Structure 1
Amino acid sequence: MANVVDTKLYDILGVSPSSTENELKKAYRKLAKEYHPDKNPNHGDKFKEISFAYEVLTNPEKKELYDRYGEQGLREGGGGGAGMDDIFSHIFGGGLFGFMGQGNRSRNGGRRRGEDMVHPLKVTLEDVYNGKTTKLQLSKSVLCSTCNGQGGKTGAVQKCTTCRGRGMRIMIRQLAPGMVQQMQSVCTDCNGEGEVISEKDRCKKCEGKKVLKEVKILEVHVDKGMKHSQKITFGGEADQAPGVEPGDIVLVLQEKEHETYRRDGKDLFMNHKIGLVEALCGFQFMVKHLDGRQIVVKYPAGKVIEPAM
């Protein structure tokens, strides 16, 4: 192939500069299995070389940069790599950990897991002493029931041709001989989604957004004895998105300061001021407990009380 100044990366994969994407994929798949660290722990560097070569040669912008300027052009061009997991996802249909047969899979067997929705829940000392059931209203995203989260008719979703489905546009500008600049920005044609739906094929209900906002009412049980910062979790109740396993809604208890009592673990403390006469002669007063009971506090006469007794 003309105008290829460096064939090192092609040689690593054992292919020619005119190889097709399928030929690159086939070569990489064979080498990745052969030199994977699980099979050949001593060939970690070789495995990285193979992965780097494949990453560059299957990325049109990076391949063009490499063919014209070699590895020096890649270094000066900058830009983040696709990452090992992206490479394995492209080749084997799953991530790096899926290829290795281990790693963090979601509860649903491999779908990417969405983020948790974390909310504070203010509670009183009475709430955590007696227990309480309350209702909490939250807004969350749910898949559109009309289009089943597709955004339009079946087959209407197309890969964005401007960014080739990446959601980002990469522009390469030559600053001087042997010196190039690579800039990356969100694709304006698909708003970073990597796919587009023609207006005539969009779902009328969600307008092609695939999700709608819905009000969710949760019944929250605050159990007796729960502590400040303790969490109440509603599994799988967070925002929904196409192809993503919903995360959890997590409520974090925030215990309000009490005007009478101070909690320390399972104990309750209170401060009560008394005068000199009461300290010498004894005293009696009533205090309202957290459950509403009136408790009599007595101190006998003739027994002198000291501060902080």
Structure 2
Amino acid sequence: MGADYYNILKVNRNATEDDLRKSYRRLAMIWHPDKNPTNKRESESKFKQISEAYDVLSDPQKRQIYDLYGEEALKSGQVPPPPSAAHGGASGRRRRQGEATSFRFNPRDADDIYAEIFAEGSGRAESRGRGRGFFRTSNGESSGDGGASSSASASGGLRKAAPVENGLACNLEDLYKGAKKKMKISRTITDSSGKVRTVEEILTIDIKPGWKKGTKITFPEKGNQEPGIIPSDLIFVIDEKPHTLFKRDGNDLVVDQEITLLESLTGKKLELTTLDGRNLIIPVNDIIKPGFEVVVPDQGMPISKEPNKRGNLRVKFNVRYPTRLTEEQKADLRRVLGGVS
């Protein structure tokens, strides 16, 4: 069964050229592939259907053949002769058969139709050429702020709303191991019938191990839809929650460890639980002075651009001195340490 171009374009069979243009503009804004980055395949298919329907119904000859004989005859060019009563007898049949023999269906390019219609709306002839280039480029590239300017040219002067940023607080464990965050958003959209409604959507953010504070995740055009304005990009910016034990310094993890004077002189076996739940034992046998630091290689944060590498774990020691000593303790210390230089 062939396509129903009138149904695709949401118009009745008596639609005028102005009706067709208005409906095409509204539907093209909804189904343009650039406005549906997470559902590219379906939007491209819908966009091509809308463009083909407009191409046929806006062309008097194509529309007449489609109305009389349907999509198959239109595309094949094999137009059967109409009944003589309806089309003027034998002479009418000869005329129709002659048209059928010479008719060839040449569909217009969807990019050209889009650029032409929105160039008409802007009143600037140069928008037509820019529109075609914009549509091709947008299929494979994200152009950031430059893309907003291109969109304005291709969409008949439409401007893109400013991006909206939201903080995304992550604990250090999430940034160490990686995690998935689901964010519920509410936005207004224009549906296929032209009505504005509020919808809720769940966005999934895949946190990569090693991401740092300030990392930005962009969801293109997930802001509110408003007439004549391209929706804004929705941007989430990574922030780090403070951790009770570890501090982050670039790709390194830093731990402040307090030990007694006795431990600083005799050594200590330090036990830590890592951010991924492992038990890490760090033997310290050296004499520890205030500010002493032990570096444990490859036990820091993952390096996001080099998944097999990690930063270091740095343990900074603070020696806790006794607040008072008895005379006996002092004497013992003099006896034990008296000859130590």
Looking at CA atoms only, which structure, 1 or 2, has the larger radius of gyration?
2
Q: Which has the higher contact order (CA 8 A, sep 6+)?
A: 1
Measured against the shorter chain, the TM-score band is 0.3 to 0.5
TM-score by length of 1: 0.45
Which structure has the highest helix share of the two?
Answer: 2
TM-score by length of 2: 0.41
